[in-house]
Amino acid sequence: MRTTRRDFLKLGGACGLVFLVFPAVKGLAAGERQEGVEGLVRKLAMTGQEGSSSAPSRAGTRKSKWGLLVDMEKCWSREGCLECILACRREHNIPDIPTPKEEIKWIWKEPFANVFPEQEHEYWPEALPEKPVVILCNHCDNPACVRVCPTKATYKRADGIVMMDYHRCIGCRYCMAACPYGARSFNFRDPRPFIKETNPSFPTREKGVVEKCNLCVERIDAGLKPACVEACPAGALIFGNLEDPNSKIREKLRSFLTIQRKSELGTRPKVYYALP
Amino acid sequence: MLVKALKGSPRYWSWMILLLMLMGVGFICYLWQLSQGLTITGLNRDVSWGLYIGQFTFLVGVAASAVMVVLPYYLHNVKAFGRITILGEFLAVSAIVMCLLFVIVDLGKPMRLFNVLLYPTPNSILFWDMVVLNGYLLLNLIIGWNVLEAEYKEVFPPKWVKILTYISIPWAISIHTVTAFLYAGLPGRHYWLTALMAARFLASAFASGPALLIILCFILKKFSRFDPGKEAIEKLSAIVAYAMIITAFFVGLELFTAFYSQVPAHGMYTLMYLFAGLEGHGKLVPFMWVFVVLAALAIVLLVIPGTRRKESTLLLACAATFISLWIEKGLALVIAGFIPNPLERVTEYAPTLPEALITLGVWATGLFLLTILYKIVISVKEEIA
């Protein structure tokens, strides 16, 4: 077929453009598919969307909205207890990296004054600033991390859990910059040599991806409670459906005064701390 | 025209070979980073962005500065800039290439880069950053190449090039606005959470970019017969002067808001960390005071007409401008955004040697590309003269 170089380039360019535009259209279409008009409104409100369906269990149900309540009095009744942290580590193959520079932690303890710095004043009880508080990903309702992820590798399920897709993550660490709580860790190196005991029913991660607490989504989907909640010997961690007014967590939220971390930032966290 | 880069003096070739060696060393270090992970850098769980992203941030500003010669020439007929718009455009090309390379070397999984195209996410500013940066690269490459080729053939450039040039003007503003938005939209980083971020990026871009352009013009004048003309340099140096004053003013605004309000959440602790140290940590303090001294020196030399017009002091002022803003945008801005961390602790960061060598390799790549492009420009201009 006789054609000029110019015409060939024109056709080639047009094909190339289609090749680029097609996945964009597909991506946008997939994002809208699940939620229609509501999805459009939410898109305008800048919250991250659920994206395409390539990752497992992206659905969840609208009827549940999972939350966690930390009863600090019960937690403080057992000094030096690390059961929730150890359970999480065992369950999710979290590597035990000795340097704080590169450590991976999904749930851990921090002093009260570091967790609630804006509450601190001179006349607190003397012991309070150092009292350990268990912190983890807040699975915010308005998560900044989801908003900034360029590939939707981190996304919010309908039941409110903020998930990670380790296969899609490009390791840009924008989510780590966005998270106001320091809840996320990055795999600076291959984590496998640092895993003490591998749990074969949960994946291990690779170097170069970000990870964080997933609220034991694999256990929740099987009707179980998160590992930390189950492991707590004091029953200080209460997990439940915030949408159900009769759930234990809602009961506790009615009876205790609860505070949240950095509530002024508009992230609407779903981890509540019940003060003693 | 590309073949013009293959003919040069021994000095040209020694420069290119030096750059190739630096690129080679950087590349080898990068291969090591690919095999070991980002553990070979000084990055940590708290300061998760460092030298690479800092350099990217600074170079976006340098790239946008092409608009500072294009806008006056195309929109306001400032004929003096006629000879150097091509230099601005090609500087933008090499700066953007460096930006993209810095993003790539920073990624944990660079082989998954295509995911950004496969799963476009319009709510993510990083998505838009990729769009505007690549768009700007294409624009400047196409415009620059076609304008130069037209000059080479001694004809007028085709009409559609002008349309692209008009598009490149707001597009240039968009690249650093979007880059500033990367930082200014994050709720947890109080040093960055200021509406002034994009304006600050613009001001420092319009100081550092033209300053570099002036230095490059003098280098070209020394090593070839190309002369940008006294008027072009004078106008450029005035632009650098105003932009530098506005930059300093904006830094002052940040300091006032943070310290007069006394609200910790307005970056007060971070500014204290930068200029005085916090809780015994102060790695960036000397850098910040060098920034202050160089910026003040630059402003003084640029404001006084005598020193602005004299070649030696102008070059000193431009070097001071470039280095001081490199410290502020390329180091301080990104690193200090993470200090103190969300739990009110200070974890410092310092780049490692491999990290610095990779950075140097990327800079060498940009300079390599810039040298090739400028060599073509010079050869074309010398040939048609």
Flag if B121 and A51 touch (Cβ within 8 Å): yes
Using the predicted structure, report yes or no on whether residue A55 has a pLDDT greater than 60: no
Q: Which residues pair with A273 in a beta bridge?
A: A70, A259
- According to the model, what pLDDT value does residue A39 have? 43
Using the predicted structure, report yes or no on whether residue B41 has a pLDDT greater than 80: yes
CB within 8 Å of chain B, chain A residues 8-37: 20, 23-24, 27-28
Which of B43, B186, B197, B352 has the highest number of chain A CBs within 10 A, making it the mutation to test binding with A? B186
Bridge-based pairing of strands A66-71 and A162-164 is: unpaired
A104-119, pLDDT tens digit by residue? 999 999 999 999 999 9
Please name the member of B46, B126, B338 whose beta carbon is closest to the beta carbon of A172. Answer: B126
Beta carbons of B206 and B68 less than 8 angstroms apart: yes
- According to the model, what pLDDT value does residue A21 have? 78
Give the sign of the dihedral formed by CA A84, CA A86, CA A89, CA A95.
positive
A130 touches chain B (CB under 8 A): no
Using the predicted structure, report yes or no on whether residue A53 has a pLDDT greater than 80: no
When pLDDT is averaged across residues B103-121 and rounded to a whole number, the result is: 95
Using the predicted structure, report yes or no on whether residue B5 has a pLDDT greater than 60: yes
- According to the model, what pLDDT value does residue A28 have? 60
- According to the model, what pLDDT value does residue B16 have? 96
Percentage of chain B lying above the pLDDT 70 cut: 100
Query: Which residues does chain B have within 8 Å of residue A205's beta carbon, measured at their own beta carbons?
Result: none
Please name the member of B37, B117, B338 whose beta carbon is closest to the beta carbon of A208. Answer: B37
Give the minimum alpha-carbon distance from A168 to chain B in angstroms, rounded to a whole number: 7
A153 touches chain B (CB under 8 A): yes
Query: Which residues does chain B have within 8 Å of residue A266's beta carbon, measured at their own beta carbons?
Result: 187
The topology under which CATH files domain A34-274 is Alpha-Beta Plaits (3.30.70)
CB within 8 Å of chain B, chain A residues 215-254: none
Beta carbons of B91 and B364 less than 8 angstroms apart: no
When pLDDT is averaged across residues B269-277 and rounded to a whole number, the result is: 95
User: What is the spatial distance between Cα B256 and Cα A124, in angstroms, rounded to a whole number?
Assistant: 31
When pLDDT is averaged across residues A224-239 and rounded to a whole number, the result is: 96
Instruction: Select, from the ranges A28-42, A49-63, A221-235, the one with the highest average predicted confidence (pLDDT).
Output: A221-235
Using the predicted structure, report yes or no on whether residue A34 has a pLDDT greater than 70: no
Using the predicted structure, report yes or no on whether residue A57 has a pLDDT greater than 70: no
Query: Which residues does chain A have within 8 Å of residue B127's beta carbon, measured at their own beta carbons?
Result: 150
User: What is the spatial distance between Cα B217 and Cα A38, in angstroms, rounded to a whole number?
Assistant: 56
Which phi and psi angles does A107 have, rounded to 5°?
-140, 135
Flag if A151 and B119 touch (Cβ within 8 Å): yes
- According to the model, what pLDDT value does residue A42 have? 45
What DSSP letter does each residue of A214-258 carry, written as one string?
A: -TTHHHHTTTPPPHHHHH-TT--EEEEETT-TTSHHHHHHHHS-E
- According to the model, what pLDDT value does residue A61 have? 61
When pLDDT is averaged across residues B18-33 and rounded to a whole number, the result is: 98
Query: Which residues does chain A have within 8 Å of residue B103's beta carbon, measured at their own beta carbons?
Result: 172
- According to the model, what pLDDT value does residue B265 have? 77
User: What is the spatial distance between Cα B22 and Cα A228, in angstroms, rounded to a whole number?
Assistant: 50
Query: Which residues does chain B have within 8 Å of residue A48's beta carbon, measured at their own beta carbons?
Result: 121, 123
SS3 B250: helix
When pLDDT is averaged across residues B273-281 and rounded to a whole number, the result is: 94
Query: Which residues does chain B have within 8 Å of residue A49's beta carbon, measured at their own beta carbons?
Result: 123
A169-181, pLDDT tens digit by residue? 999 999 999 999 9
Give the minimum alpha-carbon distance from A126 to chain B in angstroms, rounded to a whole number: 19
Q: Buried b vs exposed e over B16-42: b needs ≥16 C-beta within 10 Å?
A: beebeebbebbbebbeebeeebbbbbb
When pLDDT is averaged across residues B85-108 and rounded to a whole number, the result is: 96
pTM, rounded to two decimals: 0.89
- According to the model, what pLDDT value does residue A54 have? 33
Q: Which residue of A has its CA nearest to B335?
A: A177
Smallest Cα–Cα separation from B223: which of B364, B12, B380, B20? B12
- According to the model, what pLDDT value does residue A38 have? 43
User: What is the spatial distance between Cα A142 and Cα A125, in angstroms, rounded to a whole number?
Assistant: 33
User: What is the spatial distance between Cα B241 and Cα B307, in angstroms, rounded to a whole number?
Assistant: 12
Domain ranges (residues) in chain A? 34-274
What's the mean per-residue pLDDT of chain B?
95
Using the predicted structure, report yes or no on whether residue A85 has a pLDDT greater than 80: yes
Please name the member of B48, B115, B186 whose beta carbon is closest to the beta carbon of A168. Answer: B115
Give the sign of the dihedral formed by CA B258, CA B263, CA B266, CA B272.
positive
Beta carbons of A190 and A83 less than 8 angstroms apart: no
A-B contacts at Cβ under 8 angstroms: 163
Please name the member of B37, B188, B345 whose beta carbon is closest to the beta carbon of A178. Answer: B188
Beta carbons of A158 and A50 less than 8 angstroms apart: yes
Q: Which residue of B has its CA nearest to A207?
A: B37
B146-198, pLDDT tens digit by residue? 999 999 999 999 999 999 999 999 999 999 999 999 999 999 999 999 999 99
Flag if A51 and B119 touch (Cβ within 8 Å): yes
When pLDDT is averaged across residues A241-251 and rounded to a whole number, the result is: 95
Give the sign of the dihedral formed by CA A52, CA A54, CA A55, CA A58.
positive
Beta carbons of B285 and B277 less than 8 angstroms apart: yes
Using the predicted structure, report yes or no on whether residue A51 has a pLDDT greater than 50: no
CB within 8 Å of chain B, chain A residues 55-84: none
When pLDDT is averaged across residues B244-271 and rounded to a whole number, the result is: 93
B362-376, pLDDT tens digit by residue? 999 999 999 999 999
- According to the model, what pLDDT value does residue B335 have? 97
When pLDDT is averaged across residues A255-262 and rounded to a whole number, the result is: 95
